[in-house]
Homo-oligomer: A and B are copies of this chain.
Amino acid sequence: MKIYLNGVLAAAAETRIDPFDRGLSLGDGLFETLRVHGGIALRQDAHLKRLRRGAGVLGIPLANSDADLMHALAATIKANDVDEGQARLTLTRGPGMRGIDPPDDPAPTLMIAAVPRAHADVKPVRAIIATHTRRNEFSPLCSIKSLNYLDNVLARREAKGAGADDALLLNSIGAVTESTIANVFVAVDGQIVTPPVKDGALPGVMRADVIKAAGAFEQTLAPHAFGQVSEAFLTNSLGIYPLIEVDGKKIGTGEPGPVCRKLQALV
């Protein structure tokens, strides 16, 4: 495997992250996961736009142009011979010696990896509502894809411990936000609905496409609503997944729904 790191493509085993990188010491950075299809990273414009917005929120300078970043993505995908799979772009504030104040003259770390994926994993998802942690809708981190992913890791651990596939995270007032790796949509009264970003949902790239394609609305979603919806599904850049069960209760018929099946063509 080859990894792109600050302009150089090299074997993963020879790629060295500085032990003082603030991405490691403080989670001070961002990432994007892109689907690779036919050797091409999909929706690059939208991913790079979100990356750039996140860099603005964190104040991480990103000197590379979009064209630079696209060349680097393409080169990494090609070097790893990935036809179907995914690419991950990671941007950190770079090394910082100590304390939380950013260095005056940061040297950001830009890393790209690309891996094939074993199979198009779109099997139906059984989820729980996470009880161990919640999303913090007061934090700007909710609307950028930062390296601070531990709440999601904790919720995911809770799901696996309960024999489920994934967990849905609530926000501070108990509204549904998203799953640990995907946005959530429900069909209710003939409308397709997804939690708003202000409730703590990540503005997902696939989410935006699905909102457009399905004419979906943003609306606060209470957990008890799953008892009343005809179908539900999860979306992320890698796929659209039927959500067929929440906390042990079937959604609709318990089978993948027609809206989800139709939207999967988007992927």
Query: Which A residues are within 8 Å of any B CB, using their own CB?
Result: 3, 5, 12, 15-21, 23-28, 31, 57-59, 86, 88, 90, 92, 97-102, 111, 113, 115, 132-136, 138-141, 146-154, 156-157, 160, 172, 180-181
**Bound state CA distance, A115 and B19, in angstroms?**
14
**How many Å lie between the Cα of A57 and that of B157 in the bound state?**
10
Docked Cα-Cα span, A86 to B99, in Å, equals 11
B141 x A28 contact (CB < 8 A): no
Pair A98/B86 contact, Cβ less than 8 Å: yes
Contact A18–B17 (Cβ < 8 Å)? yes
The residues of B that contact A98 with a CB separation of less than 8 Å are 86, 88, 115
B27 and A21 contacting across the interface, CB-CB below 8 Å: no
Determine how many copies of this chain the complex contains. Answer: 2
Complex Cα spacing A225 to B27, Å: 32
Residues of chain B lying within 8 A (CB to CB) of residue A147: 24-27, 150
Q: Would B90 and A26 count as touching, CB distance under 8 A? A: no
Residues A19 and B31 in contact, CB atoms below 8 Å apart: no
Chain B residues contacting A21 (CB-CB under 8 Å) are 17, 24
Minimal Cβ-Cβ distance residue in B for A95: B12
Query: Distance in Å from the Cβ of A30 to the closest Cβ of chain B?
Result: 10
The reply to whether A24 and B23 contact each other, CB–CB distance below 8 Å, is yes
Query: What B residues does A16 contact at CB under 8 A?
Result: 16-17, 19
The winner among A12, A86, A139 for most chain B CB atoms within 10 A is A139
Inside 8 A of A18's CB, which chain B residues have their CB?
17
Given contact pairs A19-B3, A101-B160, A113-B19, A27 touches B148 in the complex (Cβ within 8 A): yes
Known: A138-B134, A139-B151, A146-B150. A24 touches B24 (CB 8 A): yes
Interface contacts beyond A16-B16, A17-B18, A100-B152: sample of 5 additional A-B pairs, CB < 8 Å, sorted by A: A15-B19, A26-B147, A28-B153, A101-B160, A102-B153
A153 pairs with B31, CB closer than 8 A:
no
- In the assembled complex, the Cα of A160 lies from the Cα of B20 at a distance in Å of 22
A140 B149 Cβ-Cβ under 8 A = no
Query: For residue A88, which residues in chain B have a CB less than 8 angstroms away from its CB?
Result: 25, 98
Q: Is the CB of B25 within 8 A of A31?
A: yes
| B3 and A58 within 8 A (CB) | no
Given contacts A19-B113, A24-B24, are A141 and B151 in contact (CB under 8 A)?
A: yes
| In the bound complex, CA of A135 to CA of B134 (Å) | 11
